[in-house]
Amino acid sequence: MSSKAKLRTFASFMYQANSWKRPRKVVARLECSLQPIAGETDMRQEVDIRYIVTSLEGTAQHLYENVYCQRGQMENLIKLHKAQLASDRMSCHSATANQVRLVLHTAAFWLMHGVRAAIPRTNPLAGCEFATIRERLIKIGARVIEHIARIRIQLPTSCPERALFRTVALGLLLSGP
């Protein structure tokens, strides 16, 4: 991977394929970067072009970054919901039981989404998948002490994510009701 920034630009134009009844707006994202050649010291230029066809109004950059890419992000979240939380498993015999399972999986999804949002952006776990966060922050041994007005969690002194666990817990506490 090159340390130089990628050059990126956007363009839009009207285009009509033979099978289309009318011309449509096409948005193009063009990206150029230098990539190292394996086993050599030279660099090669790499060009990446993406096209989307749309009927929406707006600048090419806005349509690509704020509409198209955000749609992709939604699909990634749905994939996380299904794959990392096993929410597509509906193995109960009754539809009501399966609906309750889906509601519980959705609650778990929002909890994990909140945990990930509470992780500081500078931490490597901030962009991790739910399974990694679950392994590093949730599936840990701890001592739970219940008091009348609060619950204390004592982590072992050898816990590598002790400070992060505290930051996330305080972040979730502040975002609560």
Using alpha carbons, list the distances in angstroms from residue 150 to 144, 145, 147, 153, 154: 11, 9, 5, 10, 13
Considering only CA atoms, which of 14, 16, 17 is closest in space to residue 26? 14
The predicted-structure confidence for 80-92, as pLDDT tens digits, reads as follows: 777 777 777 777 8
Q: Any idea what DSSP says for residue 108?
A: H
Sequence letter at residue 2: S
Tell me the C-alpha distance between 72 and 113, whole Å.
17
The predicted-structure confidence for 165-176, as pLDDT tens digits, reads as follows: 888 888 887 766
Who contacts 32 (Cβ-Cβ below 8 Å, separation ≥6)? 6, 7, 8, 45, 46, 47, 48
Using alpha carbons, list the distances in angstroms from residue 166 to 46, 144, 154: 43, 14, 11
Sequence letter at residue 109: F
Who contacts 172 (Cβ-Cβ below 8 Å, separation ≥6)? 114, 115, 118
In the chain, what is the straight-line distance between the N-terminal and C-terminal CA atoms, in Å? 45
The predicted-structure confidence for 52-81, as pLDDT tens digits, reads as follows: 999 899 999 999 998 888 887 778 777 777
Tell me the C-alpha distance between 68 and 29, whole Å.
11
How much is the pTM?
0.56
